[in-house]
């Protein structure tokens, strides 16, 4: 332990603690902008400078360690003046059209400017000149970069390099022309970007955003010829209300359905129905492979996460035959809506607009794939909105969620089970699949909590479960693409050997997806995931194969899992990503 003083307060901290960490632990505020613990501690913004007695220069608190006898002042006049000067210089190169920015009221630069009482700008505002071609807005991809809003904090670079290990972003230029752009002077659409959106959720400004598709939805809602159908993903229900300050008791799925009905959607369904359907197909596929081991390559990978599937296509294409051919719940739902539901209700599938509310930015890319249009020739899903986009629509439509009455999901695509709701948490897809796989092999249900070993927000989980009639099943669950890369290298080298593997591109799974509400300095995936496990435990039905509407769908339409019609509508072929 070392002893030191901050603002006259005598403190103690373990050796190696930074000034910023010590101050935060003792509720002493120090402004900062670029800092991300263990990820970006490079003092690029110079907002966290402090005065250390006995030194002739101000020091950044984020990467300066406390030392024995150190005397620190966090906000003397000189520091305050220098800090405001640094911030004004950053603002002089920033596009400050805050009123039309999607990050307005949730922007660290804006918040810091208010906190430091910046109400005039003595420096001439000079947005970047000579913008690179790649800095022009490209709306053909889900992630959009606006160079004029970039403050060069380098968070996106560090998150992509250290967490996701995709190395999409980099510093380019020299001197005053230094900026952040796509690495190797490429366009984003020409890279191996999986569009996971982690760079977006860690950007402190609006320099990186997810493409806004709300106008497409509004047009469909206003067209009397179009029947609008919306599906809501499981991870959305535990995050959407954060932006409105609702209590845990208020943020129910029924209230969310009520808000969407108030928007004017004709039908509001639950993606959990698609998740239960996915389990029936993917679980059956695993059993088919597991009981005919010699005919298949191992392990079998889940295919629910489009970011992960994109990663395999570009980074490890030789393993494409290990991916489950089952579509994701989003795509399965869309295919069923434009076939089974359209027939049942007497609707023209070409006049249906299927909208997905997803916690994920990569889902926008998934719906655009040519192979995702099996129901009627049109895309199975027409528009994907993130949780943030949906919330913006609620605000623009003057909806006050706490005043909206709860409404149940529509039928027959609205029922779901506890097994489906946990799709939003890391380990949830695997847990749900094992519950039904066990039943399909043994003819009886396991304990619904038999697979607890793969729960929890750990980056790489392993377990071995015994299914009496089949033997031991070796399982792995991984989240985050950096961890996925280490997993694939371990499999490739023979260091590990699994039968069934779940991978989610975002750390913590869909709960921490690139389309979820952004809270500066907080990683919310674990807390949201815990809420999903609680919903599962409280569910009346906890096994996908017991969903009555899923049973009816197979009995009257699909006939059986992996059957001819199910294969046409619910399965796909994974193709290698085209070379750039």
- Residues with Cβ within 8 Å of 494's Cβ and at least 6 positions away in sequence, in order, are none
- Residues with Cβ within 8 Å of 252's Cβ and at least 6 positions away in sequence, in order, are 237, 406
Q: How far is 74 from 573, CA to CA, in rounded Å?
A: 58
Q: Which H or E run contains 83?
A: helix 77-91
Length of the chain: 580
In the Cβ-directed half-sphere of 542, how many Cα atoms lie within 13 Å?
19
Label residue 115 exposed, middle or buried (CB < 10 Å: 0-12, 13-18, 19+). exposed
Q: How far is 327 from 311, CA to CA, in rounded Å?
A: 16
CA angle 158, 163, 164 (to 5 degrees): 100
Active site residues: 282, 285, 304, 324, 363, 366, 371, 510
> Would you say 463 and 490 are in contact if contact means Cβ atoms under 8 Å apart?
no
Label residue 86 exposed, middle or buried (CB < 10 Å: 0-12, 13-18, 19+). middle
- Residues with Cβ within 8 Å of 8's Cβ and at least 6 positions away in sequence, in order, are none
* 392 DSSP 8-state letter: H
CB atoms within 10 A of CB 1: 8
């Amino acid at each position: 332990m070392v002893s030191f003083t901050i603002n006259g307060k005598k403190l103690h901290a373990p050796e190696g603690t930074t000034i910023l960490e010590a101050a935060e632990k003792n509720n002493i505020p120090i402004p900062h902008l670029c800092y991300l613990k263990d990820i970006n501690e490079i003092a690029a913004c110079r907002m966290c400078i402090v005065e250390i007695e006995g030194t002739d220069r101000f020091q950044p608190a984020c990467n300066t360690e406390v030392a024995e006898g150190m005397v620190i002042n966090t906000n003397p006049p000189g520091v305050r003046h220098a800090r405001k000067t640094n911030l004004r210089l950053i603002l002089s190169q920033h596009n400050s059209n805050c009123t039309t920015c999607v990050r307005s009221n949730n922007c660290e630069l804006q918040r810091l400017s208010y906190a430091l009482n910046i109400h005039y700008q003595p420096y001439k505002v000079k947005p970047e000149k000579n913008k690179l071609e790649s800095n022009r807005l490209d709306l053909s991809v889900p992630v959009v970069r606006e160079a004029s809003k970039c403050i060069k904090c380098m968070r996106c670079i560090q998150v992509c390099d250290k967490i996701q290990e995709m190395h999409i972003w980099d510093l380019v230029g020299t001197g005053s022309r230094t900026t952040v752009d796509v690495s190797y002077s490429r366009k984003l659409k020409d890279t191996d970007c999986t569009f996971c959106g982690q760079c977006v959720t860690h950007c402190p400004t609006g320099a990186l955003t997810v493409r806004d598709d709300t106008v497409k939805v509004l047009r469909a809602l206003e067209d009397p010829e179009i029947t609008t159908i919306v599906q809501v993903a499981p991870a959305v229900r535990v995050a959407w209300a954060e932006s409105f300050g609702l209590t845990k008791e208020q943020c129910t799925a029924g209230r969310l359905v009520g808000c969407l009905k108030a928007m004017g959607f004709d039908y509001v369904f639950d993606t959990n129905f698609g998740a239960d359907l996915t389990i029936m197909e993917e679980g059956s596929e695993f059993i088919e492979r597991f009981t005919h081991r010699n005919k298949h390559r191992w392990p079998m990978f889940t295919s629910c996460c489009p970011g992960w599937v994109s990663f395999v296509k570009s980074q490890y294409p030789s393993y494409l035959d290990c991916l489950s051919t089952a579509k994701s719940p989003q795509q399965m739902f869309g295919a069923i809506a434009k076939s089974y539901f359209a027939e049942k209700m007497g609707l023209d599938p070409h006049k249906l607009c299927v909208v997905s509310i997803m916690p994920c930015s990569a889902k926008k890319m998934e719906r655009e794939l040519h192979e995702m249009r099996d129901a009627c020739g049109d895309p199975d899903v027409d528009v994907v909105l993130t949780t943030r986009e949906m919330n913006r629509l609620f605000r623009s439509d003057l909806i006050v969620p706490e005043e909206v009455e709860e409404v149940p999901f529509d039928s027959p695509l609205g029922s779901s089970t506890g097994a489906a709701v946990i799709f939003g948490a890391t380990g949830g897809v695997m847990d749900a699949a094992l519950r039904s796989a066990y039943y399909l092999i043994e003819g009886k249900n396991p304990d619904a909590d038999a697979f607890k070993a793969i729960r929890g927000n750990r980056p790489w989980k392993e377990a071995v479960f015994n299914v009496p009639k089949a033997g031991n099943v070796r399982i792995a669950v991984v989240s985050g693409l950096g961890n996925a890369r280490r997993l694939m290298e371990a499999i490739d080298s023979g260091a590990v050997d699994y039968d069934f593997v779940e991978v989610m591109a975002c750390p913590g799974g869909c709960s921490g997806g690139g389309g979820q509400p952004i809270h500066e300095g907080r990683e919310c995936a674990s807390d949201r995931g815990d809420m999903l496990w609680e919903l599962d435990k409280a569910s009346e039905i906890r096994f996908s194969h017991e969903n009555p509407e899923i049973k009816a769908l197979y009995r009257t339409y699909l006939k059986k899992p992996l059957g001819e019609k199910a294969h046409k509508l619910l399965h796909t072929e994974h193709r290698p990503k085209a070379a750039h």
